[in-house]
Amino acid sequence: MLLIACPWCGERDETEYHYGGQAHVAHPADPHALSDAEWGAYLFVRDNPKGEFAERWMHAAGCRRWFNVVRHTVTHDISAVYPAGQPRPVPPSDEHSEVTA
Amino acid sequence: MTVDGFALAHLRRSPLGHLADRLAAAEATGPGGVRLREIPFLAQLNLRLDPAGPAAARAAEALGAPLPTLAGSVVATADLRVLWLGPDEWLVVGADGAAPTIEHALRRALGDEPGSVVDVSANRTTLELSGPSARSVLEQGCSLDLHPRAFGPGRCAQTTVAKVQLVLDQIDAEPSYRLLVRGSFAQYLADWLLDATGE
Amino acid sequence: MPDQLPEHPDWLWRTPDPKPSYDVVVVGAGGHGLATAYYLARNHGISNVAVLERGWLAGGNMARNTTIIRSNYLCEESAAIYEHALKLWEGLPEELEYDFLFSQRGVLNLAHTLQDVREGTRRVGANRLGGVDAEWLDPDEVRAFCPIVNTSPDVRYPVLGATLQPRAGIAKHDHVAWALARKADEHGVDLIQNCEVTGFVRDGGGRVVGVETTRGRIGAGRVALAAAGHTSTLTDLLGLRLPIQSHPLQALVSELLEPVHPTVVMSNHVHVYVSQAHKGELVMGAGIDSYNGYGQRGSFHQIEHQMAAALELFPIFARAHVLRTWGGIVDVTPDASPIIGLTPVENLYLNCGWGTGGFKATPASGWVYADTIAHGRPHQLAAPFALERFATGALIDEHGAAAVAH
Ligand SMILES: Cc1cc2nc3c(=O)[nH]c(=O)nc-3n(C[C@H](O)[C@H](O)[C@H](O)COP(=O)(O)OP(=O)(O)OC[C@H]3O[C@@H](n4cnc5c(N)ncnc54)[C@H](O)[C@@H]3O)c2cc1C
Ligand SMILES: [Zn+2]
């Protein structure tokens, strides 16, 4: 059972949440401008990384707010929780790569 | 309750009315004591508005208390409990019959601002669980940390108890809890609590 | 203590070092990869083939599934490929000279709601028209066929009826893998374990001409992916994005019990599927976790939910114990149907997306995939399952249609 920290309610069991798949998938600005293949890719294709994944969760049995989580798909380590609509935070290791390099 | 002047209150059935005797009989006294009862027909108003907008202050004035902005907190007045449900959402709980008055006041407070005021009184009934053992009864089916260091009077939570989604509101330090639960799940939850109080 | 360990039983296949190159390199030694290699050799005379496996043979979903075999799918395209598989299963123990305990004990799909009844009777009709054996049972007939199912009317979700496919059943999954491996090996196929594919070698024209592995570079005339839940980690390396998501799926077994359960029971509504293996353990599948995961383990509440469902349907299991639980990584597509065929990358072939239900397809999957690879065009039964359907919209929507996942 995952323990996920809702940005509002704090840590709650996974069973209180609803999973929403990959985060940051924007609706195409002009769907009519897309080819069938591009539209199909928008509808059906999502990233499926083995590693860190920015994804959406909703606190269904709690405050019912959507938010984003960066979770590792092998270890389930959650490295970031941030509000929907905000960009994915830059991991600290990247920020400081110049210092540590 | 009246509709077009006809009194309808005698027609109302609370979801747990038929269990009143069993709930009362389950009472245990003493240091391990616990009591369980239904508080039917509480007024419940769902309020949504921008907490930073002008309607928030007007709503606070109408309610006689500020809207709680801390997640999971409750502000109580003499007549009302205002429960935080979300960053822009509250549940205002009052006495049986108070819903029209509260709704009217909140609608006026909201004015033309974006938001909503909905009478959801019929959505849920309320179970009150109290007594020195109330917390340990609840903990059998609730994964929240209800220890006084983490939870207490003035705190509320939307969570699950025995898999049932509900609003939990701690009333006092005895402790007493209110469990606001959907009518259709109330019987199951009551049965579960009756069973748990026997453990 | 004996001072000497007992002799190891005969090895069923060689353990060769990889050759510099092969006509076909199959990635993944699960059931589908092994069946593909076997049929490449048997049906097409292509035996200069390697199957590369990052772990051990059948260490993925192949030996983690609940072994249900049936072909009573709603959509014509699915029924056709799964029925082809079922016909192959019927001859396979003899052909592979291996008794892998294929048992056609029937599969019941229980109906608990009016919608279930509509779906079930419709599917029985569709199956019969398509030449797939199918019957509709009323609750009394369900009880007669499987006496331990709780068919009393006063349970939460009473059994209103069931579909029965008499020719459906189970098989011992690890033995199936070993049987295919031994025959493929006999045909000259190299089965290479502990050999992870980590990249692709491409020529100037973008064609795939080999793979990079943890055991060095291996040349390949054609590369055939059969990597189940890991497929998109490989295609990502080529910039080819696939409509699959990898999820944990769990199963569990009880201790060994006397024979009590004569068939296979699946209930989509209560969510349980149970059979009793030959040794005596009850084999049950749990639900899929909602989130993506590559950890080969799932969440505990899925197991709990699964046990509650099992007890509701089978009160007789009340005192059985859970002996073991485990998880696999299933590759799920938006329409819950597999993806088989060619790809935009020349020489690269794809067979994935079997999700929670590909064990039953193992022989047909290998059959049509081998044919597709050998001829460089889709086999007739594979054609509807091409990747292009996610652009054309010609989905094979088994999700809503058959309402059963395994
Ligand atoms: C719990 C559970 C229950 C199931 N129940 C049923 C059922 O009752 N009936 C049914 O029909 N289906 C069932 N399935 C689904 C079925 O098991 C799968 O659809 C099927 O096994 C997938 O094909 P496979 O055997 O080739 O996959 P796998 O056995 O997973 O084979 C893929 C192989 O590729 C290897 N691989 C991955 N990446 C690489 C790489 N980079 N290099 C080299 N090798 C690599 C993996 O290690 C793995 O061995 C179930 C699955 C699970 C997990
Ligand atoms: Zn929350």
Hey, which bits of C70-215 come out as E strands?
A: 107-111, 135-137, 161-165, 169-170, 190-192, 197-202, 208-213
Which amino acid, A94? D
Residue B43 sits at the vertex; the CA angle it makes with A10 and B68, to the nearest 5 degrees, is: 35
Give residue-wise pLDDT tens across range A39-84.
Answer: 999 999 999 999 999 999 999 999 999 999 999 999 999 999 999 9
Q: Are C250 and C236 in contact (CB under 8 A)?
A: no
Residues B33 and B129 in one domain: yes
Q: What is the pLDDT along chain B (199 residues), one digit of tens a residue?
A: 555 556 777 889 999 999 999 999 999 999 999 999 999 999 999 999 999 999 999 999 999 999 999 999 999 999 999 999 999 999 999 999 999 999 999 999 999 999 999 999 999 999 999 999 999 999 999 999 999 999 999 999 999 999 999 999 999 999 999 999 999 999 999 999 999 998 7
Residue C384 sits at the vertex; the CA angle it makes with C267 and C52, to the nearest 5 degrees, is: 80
Establish if B84 belongs to a structural domain: yes
pLDDT of residue B10: 83
Cα–Cα distances (Å) from C3 to C6, C7, C9, C96, in that order, read 10, 12, 18, 37
Establish if B10 belongs to a structural domain: no
How many structural domains comprise chain C? 2
Whether C390 sits inside 8 A of A44 (CB atoms) is: yes
Nearest ligand for residue C363 CA = 1
Establish if C217 belongs to a structural domain: yes
C285 Cβ closer than 6 Å to some ligand 1 atom: yes
Residues B65 and B27 in one domain: no
Going along chain A from its start, the domains and CATH numbers come out as 16-26+45-89 (3.30.2270.10)
The pair of structure tokens assigned to A84 is 């929907």
Rounded CA-CA distance C271/A15 in Å is 17
The pair of structure tokens assigned to C5 is 């360990």
Rounded CA-CA distance C137/C121 in Å is 10
**Cα C377 to the chain's mean position, in Å?**
23
- Side-by-side strand order, sheet with A18-22: A18-22, A52-58, A66-72, A78-83
Residues B137 and B182 in one domain: yes
pLDDT of residue C404: 55
Nearest Cβ partner of A74 from C236, C245, C294? C294
Residues C185 and C295 in one domain: no
- Give the side-chain half-sphere CA count within 13 A for C10: 4
Phi, psi angle pair for C349, to nearest 5°: -120, 155
Query: Residue B133 sits in a domain of what CATH number?
Result: 3.30.1360.120
Query: Residue C349 sits in a domain of what CATH number?
Result: 3.50.50.60
Is C203 buried (19+), middle (13-18) or exposed (0-12) by CB count in 10 A? Answer: exposed
Residues B68 and B163 in one domain: no
Establish if B11 belongs to a structural domain: no
Chain C residues in contact with A2 by the CB 8 A cut-off are 291, 299
Query: Residue C287 sits in a domain of what CATH number?
Result: 3.30.9.10
C226 Cβ closer than 6 Å to some ligand 1 atom: yes
Which residue, C292, C312, C332, sits at the end of a domain? C332
Q: Is the ipTM of this complex over 0.90?
A: yes
Centre of ligand 2 from the C-alpha of residue A12, in Å = 8
Residues B111 and B59 in one domain: yes
- Side-by-side strand order, sheet with B115-119: B74-76, B81-86, B89-94, B43-49, B115-119
DSSP string across C22-58: EEEEEE--SHHHHHHHHHHHHHH----EEEE-SSSTT
Centre of ligand 2 from the C-alpha of residue A25, in Å = 22
HEC string for chain A: CCEEEECCCEEEEHHHCEEEEECCCCCCCCHHHCCHHHHHHHHHCCCCCCCEEEEEEECCCCCCCEEEEEEECCCCCEEEEEECCCCCCCCHHHHCHHHHC
pLDDT of residue A1: 86
Which residue, B121, B147, B177, sits at the end of a domain? B121
- pLDDT confidence tier of residue A101, bands split at 50, 70 and 90: very low
Rounded CA-CA distance B65/C405 in Å is 53
Residues C239 and C178 in one domain: yes
Task: Scan for tokens 């123990």, then name that residue.
Answer: C93
What range does the domain containing C239 cover? 10-65+173-243+334-392
Whether A45 sits inside 8 A of C242 (CB atoms) is: yes
Chain B nearest-CA distance from A47, in A, is: 30
Q: Is the pLDDT of residue A97 over 70?
A: no
Which amino acid, C389? R
Q: Chain A 17-76, CB below 8 Å of chain B: which residues?
A: 61-65
Residues B188 and B166 in one domain: yes
Q: Is A41 an interface residue toward C (CB < 8 Å)?
A: yes
Residues C251 and C324 in one domain: yes
C100 Cβ closer than 6 Å to some ligand 1 atom: no
Residues C261 and C310 in one domain: yes
Q: What is the pLDDT along chain C (406 residues), one digit of tens a residue?
A: 567 888 877 899 999 999 999 999 999 999 999 999 999 999 999 999 999 999 999 999 999 999 999 999 999 999 999 999 999 999 999 999 999 999 999 999 999 999 999 999 999 999 999 999 999 999 999 999 999 999 999 888 999 999 999 999 999 999 999 999 999 999 999 999 999 999 999 999 999 999 999 999 999 999 999 999 999 999 999 999 999 999 999 999 999 999 999 999 999 888 889 999 999 999 999 989 999 999 998 999 999 989 998 999 999 999 999 999 999 999 999 999 999 999 999 999 999 999 999 999 999 999 999 999 999 999 999 999 999 999 999 999 987 665 455 6
3-state helix, strand, coil in chain B (%, to 5): 30, 35, 40
Whether C301 sits inside 8 A of A50 (CB atoms) is: no
Which residue, C287, C314, C332, sits at the end of a domain? C332
How many structural domains comprise chain B? 2
Whether A65 sits inside 8 A of B87 (CB atoms) is: yes
Residues B36 and B133 in one domain: yes
Of B98, B60, B61, residue with least CA distance to B79: B98
Chain A residues in contact with B149 by the CB 8 A cut-off are none
3 state SS of C116:
helix
Which residue, B93, B121, B149, sits at the end of a domain? B121
The pair of structure tokens assigned to C307 is 């046990």
Establish if B167 belongs to a structural domain: yes
pLDDT of residue B4: 55
What range does the domain containing B96 cover? 43-121
Task: Quote the DSSP letter at residue C335.
Answer: T
Chain A residues in contact with C233 by the CB 8 A cut-off are 48-50
Which residue, B98, B121, B144, sits at the end of a domain? B121
